[in-house]
Structure 1
Amino acid sequence: MIKPLLLTAALLAAPMAAHAQATPDTDPPVFKSPKIVLIGDSTTAVQSGWGPSFCGKHVTSFVACINLARGGRSTSNYRLEGSWKLAMYEIKSGGFSDTYVLIQFGHNDQPGKPGRSTDLATEFPANLQRYVEEVRAAGGKPVLVTPLTRRQFKDGKLVDDLGPWAQATRRVAAETGTPLVDLHALSSAAVQAMGPVEAMRLAQSPPDARVRDAARSGTTIEARFYEPAIPGAAVPPPPPPVATPQVQNNAAAEPMGTPKQAFDYTHLGHEGADHVSALVATALADAVPALRRNLLP
C-alpha cells in the first residue's frame, strides 16, 4: 500500500513542479517607455501651475508623469525641507527605460522672501548645478527649465523681472551640457503678444474691475517688481520698502496642497495651464528628441 501512495503523491507533485518552473521572474518589469518627473515651485505645481495640464494632456499613456513641484519653494528650501529627498527616491526607483527630470526654479529664489531666497550670483546657479549632478548620479536625465514669466506690464511692455534668473539657468545648462526648455523666453513672447488685458485670462481667477481698468492703460497695478542684482539689467525700480518679516519656516507657512485661488500675475488657472503646458511640450520635444514620440502637441 505504501508504493501506490508514493506514486500518487509523485504524480500530483509533477504538475506543481512544472508550474513552479514556468512562474515568471518576481523582479518588477522594466517598461520600454520613459518616466517624467517635474521639480519646481508653484508655477509648475498642482492647482497653480502648468504641470497638471502637461501630465494630463501632453504625454502619451505610455509615459509615467509625476509632479513633485511645491508652492513657495526655491532651489534652497525645496532641498532643505526634504522634498528633494522624496524626488530622489522617485528618480532611483527604476522600472522605465529612462527617467527625465524637469527642474524649474527662480520665482522664490528672488530677494525679499525669507526662508527661500538665494544669492543670484553664487547660490542659485550652484544649487541648479547640484540638482543636475545628483539627477545624473541617480541614473536620471536632467532637463533645466527657465522660470515662467510674470504677467506685469508697464506702458504696454512686459516687465521682465525674472530675466536674470532665466539667464542664470541658461548658463548652467550650457556649462553642464543639460537640455534646456527656455520657458521664460517662450512665455514672455506669448504674454507680450497678448497684452496686459488678454494675459489676465491666464490667471487663476478674474481680476476686479479696478485692476482690469488699469491694465487697459497698458500698466498693471498691485504687482511687486524685483531687482535683478545684476549690473546693467533694466527693470523698473522696486516699490517703497516695507517691514521685513522674521525668517520663517516656509514649509509651515505655505503648507503643501493649499494653493491660493486668487488673481495675481504669476499663477495659472486652467486656461493658463493649458496654454503654458503646450509651450513646454513643444520645446521639450525639440530639446530632447528621444521624447518626441511620447509628447502630444
Structure 2
Amino acid sequence: MSPKSLLLAAALLAAPVAALAQTADPAPFKAPKIVLVGDSTTAVQGGWGPSFCGKHVTSVVACINLARGGRSSGNYRAEGSWALAMHEIRSGGFSDTYVLIQFGHNDQPGKPGRSTELATEFPANLKRYVEEVRAAGGKPVLVTPLTRRQFKDGKLVDDLGPWAEVTRKIATETQTPLVDLHALSTAAVQAIGPVEAMRFAQSAPDPRVREAARSGTTIEARFYEPAIPGATVPPAPPPAPPPPVQNNAAAEPMGTPKAAFDYTHLGHEGADYFSTMVAKALADAVPTLRRQLLP
C-alpha cells in the first residue's frame, strides 16, 4: 500500500474517534449550592425562603429549601428532615454547598414535642448541626430567628431575643458565619410600627385587629373571626380586653401554616422584604458568595 493510501486509511479510522470526542458530554459545570434549613419562617409557605431562592441568587446557583413548618432544632432532626439535608450536602457535584440554619420559633416553651431547653439543648443542637455540615464537606451559616411582629405600648415584643443571642454565641464559638436576621428584622419592624408591619402577613387582618394596633398594642389575631368581605363590621365587644399578644404556641401548629393573618408568618410582600435583608447580610457574612447573590 502506497504512503498516500496509508494516510487516507488512517484518516478514515480517526474520523469516528474525532466525531465521538466532539459529541461527548463536557465536564460538569461547577457552581455553588445553597440549602435552607429551618422552620416555617424560612419554608416555602410562610417564610422568606421562596423569595430568596427565586429572586436573590444567580441562575448558576442551586437553591434548595428544606425548611419545614412547625420544626425546632430538636424535632427537625428527630423526624428525619436533617438526614435529607445531609444527603444534599454529601451529594457532591457543586463547587461549595452552603447550609443556612435558622431555628428558634418552635424551640420556645409551650410547644409539646418541639420545645427545647434554651440553656443546654438548643445550643447543643445548633453546634451539632454546624459540626455535621463541616464533616460532610459543607459550609454552615447560622441565621438568627426572624422577629415576630407583635407590639405592646408601641414597642416590639422581642420574645425571640434569647434564642437569637444563643445563636450568636454559637456562631462565635464555632467561628461560623452569621446572618443576624433577628437584629435586622427587629430594627426594621420597630421602625415601621404595628400597623404598617401587618402588610407582611399572609393575609390582611380583621379591621378590628388593625384598629387595635393603632393604639400601639396588637391583639391576638385569632381573637376575632375574619370579617366577611362587604359585611358591616360590628364594634369590638365591651368585656375584658383580649390578650395583648398572640398565643404563639396555639397559633403556630405543626405543619404548613394556614394562609391567615398572624404576626409570625410571611406573605409575598413579607417574603420579598426579609429575603432581601437575608441576601444582603449573607453577602457580607460570606464574601465568597457575594457575586452569586442579587440585592
Q: Cα offset for 1:47?
A: 1.6
Deviations 1:196-221 (A, max 9, x none): 00000000010001111110000001
Normalising to structure 2: TM-score of the pair? 0.83
Cα pair distance change 1:77/1:159, threshold 3 Å: same
Cα pair distance change 1:237/1:173, threshold 3 Å: farther
Cα pair distance change 1:162/1:25, threshold 3 Å: same
Q: Structure 1 residue 126 and structure 2 residue 135: aligned? A: no
- 2:261 aligned residue (263, 266, 280): 263
The residue aligned with 1:40 is 38
Cα pair distance change 1:14/1:238, threshold 3 Å: closer
Query: What stretches of structure 2 of length at least 5 have no aligned partner?
Result: 1-9, 223-242
Amino acid at match of 1:269: G
Amino acid at match of 1:139: G
The residue aligned with 2:157 is 159
Deviations 1:246-273 (A, max 9, x none): xxxx9xx744xx4310000000000000
Contact 1:152 1:223 in 2 (8 A): no
Contact 2:150 2:246 in 1 (8 A): no
Q: What is the alpha-carbon distance in structure 1 between the residues aligned to residue 151 and residue 257 of structure 2? A: 24
Amino acid at match of 1:163: G
Q: What is the alpha-carbon distance in structure 2 between the residues aligned to residue 71 and residue 126 of structure 1? A: 21
The residue aligned with 1:219 is 217
- 1:193 aligned residue (191, 196, 205): 191
The residue aligned with 1:29 is 28
Q: What is the alpha-carbon distance in structure 1 between the residues aligned to residue 177 and residue 45 of structure 2? A: 27
Cα pair distance change 1:294/1:166, threshold 3 Å: same
The SS at the match of 2:194 is: helix
Cα pair distance change 1:104/1:215, threshold 3 Å: same
Q: What is the alpha-carbon distance in structure 2 between the residues aligned to residue 25 and residue 151 of structure 1? A: 51
Q: Cα offset for 1:223?
A: 6.3
The residue aligned with 2:63 is 65
Q: What is the alpha-carbon distance in structure 2 between the residues aligned to residue 65 and residue 203 of structure 1? A: 24
Q: What is the alpha-carbon distance in structure 1 between the residues aligned to residue 196 and residue 17 of structure 2? A: 70
Q: What is the alpha-carbon distance in structure 1 between the residues aligned to residue 138 and residue 29 of structure 2? A: 15
The residue aligned with 2:89 is 91
Aligned ranges for residues 179-190 of structure 1 at < 5 Å? 179-190=177-188
Q: Cα offset for 1:62?
A: 1.3
Q: What is the alpha-carbon distance in structure 2 between the residues aligned to residue 60 and residue 95 of structure 1? A: 18
Q: What is the alpha-carbon distance in structure 1 between the residues aligned to residue 179 and residue 11 of structure 2? A: 64
Q: What is the alpha-carbon distance in structure 1 between the residues aligned to residue 76 and residue 193 of structure 2? A: 33
Q: What is the alpha-carbon distance in structure 2 between the residues aligned to residue 23 and residue 139 of structure 1? A: 33
Q: What is the alpha-carbon distance in structure 2 between the residues aligned to residue 120 and residue 40 of structure 1? A: 17
Q: What is the alpha-carbon distance in structure 2 between the residues aligned to residue 223 and residue 263 of structure 1? A: 7
Amino acid at match of 1:137: A
The residue aligned with 2:201 is 203
The residue aligned with 2:226 is none
Cα pair distance change 1:11/1:174, threshold 3 Å: closer
Q: Cα offset for 1:83?
A: 0.5
Contact 2:150 2:263 in 1 (8 A): yes
Q: What is the alpha-carbon distance in structure 2 between the residues aligned to residue 25 and residue 209 of structure 1? A: 60
The residue aligned with 2:80 is 82
The residue aligned with 2:143 is 145
Deviations 1:62-106 (A, max 9, x none): 111111000000001100111000001101111111110000000
Q: Cα offset for 1:29?
A: 1.5
Q: How many residues align?
A: 265
Q: What is the alpha-carbon distance in structure 1 between the residues aligned to residue 172 and residue 85 of structure 2? A: 24
Normalising to structure 1: TM-score of the pair? 0.82
| Runs (4+) off by over 4 Å | 10-26, 236-240
The residue aligned with 2:288 is 290
Q: What is the alpha-carbon distance in structure 1 between the residues aligned to residue 120 and residue 244 of structure 2? A: 23
Cα pair distance change 1:43/1:239, threshold 3 Å: closer
Deviations 1:217-236 (A, max 9, x none): 00001169xxxxxxxxxxx9
Q: Cα offset for 1:14?
A: 6.1
Q: Cα offset for 1:21?
A: 6.6
Q: What is the alpha-carbon distance in structure 2 between the residues aligned to residue 167 and residue 237 of structure 1? A: 25
Q: What is the alpha-carbon distance in structure 1 between the residues aligned to residue 125 and residue 244 of structure 2? A: 27
Contact 1:128 1:169 in 2 (8 A): yes
Cα pair distance change 1:238/1:104, threshold 3 Å: same
